[in-house]
Amino acid sequence: MIDVRDHGDVRELRLNRPPANALSPELLERLCAHVVSAPSDGARALVISGAGGMFTGGLDVPLLLRLDRAGMMAA
């Protein structure tokens, strides 16, 4: 879902959720965790990129449409 690549003290977090790297609650949670842990892992800079020639297609609307009100609030 997120590929982590270190280029010296620069850490690349590459979104890898085919086909469009759509942003789901799980992806955002993992991305946040990687961002928070990067400094303690020695990263001095972060680059966020997307696999498959696309950064992101935006929110995963089909997934969000399946959620009820409580699920939407949690997302």
CATH code assigned at 36? 3.30.300.220
User: Which residues are bridge partners to 47 per DSSP?
Assistant: 12
Per-chain mean pLDDT for the chain: 94
The number of folded domains in the chain is 1
| Domain extent for 55 | 2-74
Instruction: Please state, as a whole number, how many other Cβ atoms lie within 10 Å of the Cβ of residue 6.
Output: 12
Low-confidence ranges of the chain (pLDDT < 70): 75
Q: What is the pTM of this model?
A: 0.86
CA distance 45 to 68: 38
pLDDT confidence of residue 9: 96
CA distance 60 to 50: 15
